[in-house]
Amino acid sequence: MQSRNRFLDDVSQLMTNAMGVAQGARTEAETAVKSLMDRWLADRDFVTREEFEAVRGMAQKAREENEALKARIDALVARMDGPTEK
């Protein structure tokens, strides 16, 4: 029975080592794919989330300023078109 246990121990060790190699290959593949994607995205001139949010905030502020200016212009036009005294 001693040799059978040794055989099972060897098989178990072999499987453990194979799983370690598979895990290492998986990690290496993930790193390579991430690196490839990072380079591909950098070549496409995509903006970061921070850049997008900054421009979005600027656009919102400009829109609000335009609405305020339109309201002022409408008020001035209404005063100019109002009843005139003779």
The DSSP symbol for 45 reads: T
Cα separations in angstroms, 59 against 22, 34, 54, 64, 65 = 50, 33, 9, 9, 10
Give per-residue pLDDT as tens, 43-81.
Answer: 888 888 999 999 999 999 999 999 999 999 999 999 998
For 27-41, the pLDDT digits (tens) are 999 999 999 998 888
Residue 86, token pair as written in the block: 């003779």
Whether 17 shows a pLDDT value over 70: the answer reads yes
Element (H, E) at 78: helix 49-81
pLDDT value at position 46? 82
Predicted pLDDT of residue 1: 47
Say yes or no to pLDDT of 4 above 90: no
**How many other CB atoms sit within 10 Å of the CB of residue 76?**
10
